[in-house]
Amino acid sequence: MIGCKEIDEYITNVEKGIEKADDDVRKQCELVKKAFANESIYVDKEQLAGYLKIGHMMFKTLYPWQIFATACCLCTYTKENKPRWYWALFMIGRGAGKDGTIAWWGLCLTSKFNKIQKYDVDICANNEEQAVRPVKDITEFLERPELYEKSKKTYKWTIEEVKGLANKGRVKGQTNSPKGKDGLRTGCVIFNEVHQYTDYGQIKVFTTGLGKVAHPRRISFTTNGDVREGVLDDYLYNAEKVLNGEEADNGHFYFLCRLDSKEEVDNEENWYKANPSLVYNDTLLDETRTEYLEWKKDPYKNSAFMTKRMNLPIAADEKAVVDYDYIKATNQPMIDLTKKCCVVGVDLSRTTDMCSVSAWFKIKDKRYVINHSWICTQSKDWEEITAKDNFKTWEEMGLLTIVDNFEINPKLIADYIQSLKSKYNILCVAIDDFRQSIFARELNMIGFSKEGKNLKLVRPSDVAKVVPVMESLLLNLNVVLGDNPVWRWACNNTKVISWRARTTSESELGNQIYAKIDAKRRKTDPFMSTVAAATCDLLLPDQVSVNTDLFRARTI
């Protein structure tokens, strides 16, 4: 046993199934046990008792997960008297009490029980409401009639911040503006709903003040969300390595509450895995039941139930190409493709927007893709594009070219294809039938034309044939791009919809086609250039691994 009643009790209840926990929480409990068994660490029990006293005054009930997390993240120290877990991520279902926990911890860290003087707590979020909500919770607690006089002796507060009179630390909500952040002397920075962050720009702004005060901590509370290839996905990727024992935790604590699989959602008992507070809150349980029934009726319209209640985003039939885990699985090592045969796909909406090129190789069962994209800064959608904060990083990775002009010159695309031609054996270039006139001259100059029978004009019926092929390849982990977040972002921006040819009045032929999930904010060109290339897959050798029956689409 660890020797701390609060930690021992929680871990024992998880192991016995008294506390319903997912695999990730179970693994974190094992890591805590190993840390106490193998390291010289201890729990400051006096400090923990003080923090719990504040919590019991604030709330009718302290949830077991809150007590466990407080003991580990706020009260456990190394022999050098430094926090053992100074960095923490809590991904927990909507309604679990994240804001309340943030408010409680803010009071704890600025109370007399924290001996570090001037220990400031900054609560950061993408919008003002999320940043200041915990501060409002604190002030409402301090202003309770039965506590008001006592509160004035220990804290001083305004609508903007709360200051502890004993250690002189303060709790304040911070917005995204970098103004004035250079002067921060943060002890603990808490990020609220980190799933909304597309990159680390704002996080770096908020963490500039860490290190000026002893015991610096970084803590994130969030549900899951719809932003992919953002900060949360990075955190979850790292968490997987730590929880599976592939890497040391290096002071990181991952408390990830979610379903272990989508099939578990139909058993109400499994909901407690995503939200361990649910068992103590009948009102929240009733609301979750209502949302579950709504989700069953229309998974696409009510996808937030799985994303935010169960913390397991699931693609509805007409929402995404495949589940995002399979999109991530395209990040496999590339091989040397020099002098190998390939076909090249080109896709663009407008030369004033985005364009992408994919070279598609077939090596036995695998399809290797080399993808590059161009984005125009003067696109009319520029300000609304969700991932534009990542563009500079993607450009540095060599995956994207940012064109600071009114359009993407078709010659840029032709020059890139020519560079591919000098290294690989390009059998054919495939491009949308309605866009080919834009590139006809430049492609002809580098040797690709309809007359030469090495330029394929891709029609919707061609794409309909490829949809089941792409799905099969992705589900069997046979599409390889290496680390290409541009392509993964675009693939996740694409949905599959039912399609029929214009030449028939039949409403359904069983065929499907790709479409954009959000035409302005989310681009699909990198993925669709791969689809264009895939329409020429049968021109390449090593065809035996593909079931050619998949290419049969019913059209009239």
Positive or negative CA dihedral for 261, 267, 269, 274? positive
CATH topology for the 325-551 domain: Nucleotidyltransferase; domain 5 (3.30.420)
**190-219 mean pLDDT:** 88
Q: What is the pLDDT of residue 315?
A: 55
- Out of 36-40, 143-147, 181-185, 439-443, pick the least confident: 181-185
530 neighbors 330 (Cβ within 8 angstroms): no
- Model confidence at 552, pLDDT cuts 50, 70, 90, reads low
Q: What is the pLDDT of residue 131?
A: 87
Q: How far apart are CA 291 and CA 24, in angstroms?
A: 25
161 neighbors 135 (Cβ within 8 angstroms): yes
The overall longest dimension of the chain from CA atoms, in Å, is: 89
Six token digits for residue 120:
């400031």
Counting Cα atoms < 13 Å in the Cβ hemisphere of 516 gives 11
Q: How far apart are CA 15 and CA 484, in angstroms?
A: 39
pLDDT > 90: percent of the chain: 69
pLDDT, one tens digit per residue, over 99-137 is 999 999 999 999 999 999 999 999 998 888 888 899 999
**Which of 504, 186, 486, 549 lies closest to 357 in space, CA to CA?**
486
Residue type, 265: V
Of residues 299 and 343, more confidently modeled: 343
**Residue 196: is its pLDDT beyond 80?**
yes
End-to-end CA, the chain:
71
pLDDT, one tens digit per residue, over 216-261 is 999 999 999 887 778 998 999 999 999 999 999 999 999 999 999 9
Does the domain made of 5-256 have the CATH classification 2.30.30.180? no
Long-range contacts formed by 442-446: CB under 8 A, 24+ apart = 442/410, 442/411, 442/413, 442/414, 443/414, 443/417, 445/414, 446/414, 446/417, 446/418, 446/421
335 neighbors 368 (Cβ within 8 angstroms): yes
Q: What is the pLDDT of residue 319?
A: 58
493 neighbors 523 (Cβ within 8 angstroms): yes
Q: How far apart are CA 358 and CA 371, in angstroms?
A: 4
Containing H/E element for 36? helix 23-38
**Residue 25: is its pLDDT beyond 90?**
yes
Domain ranges of the chain: 5-256, 325-551
Q: What is the pLDDT of residue 553?
A: 52
What is the 8-class DSSP label of residue 256? Answer: E
Count other Cβ atoms within 10 Å, centred on residue 42: 17
pTM: 0.71
- Model confidence at 551, pLDDT cuts 50, 70, 90, reads low
Q: How far apart are CA 546 and CA 538, in angstroms?
A: 9
- What is the DSSP secondary-structure string of 69-89? HHHHHHHEEETTSSBS--EEE
254 neighbors 247 (Cβ within 8 angstroms): no
Residue type, 26: R
Six token digits for residue 350:
């407008």
Q: How far apart are CA 466 and CA 344, in angstroms?
A: 15
Q: What is the pLDDT of residue 256?
A: 98
What is the 8-class DSSP label of residue 426? Answer: E
Q: What is the pLDDT of residue 504?
A: 38
- Out of 189-198, 281-290, 497-506, pick the least confident: 497-506
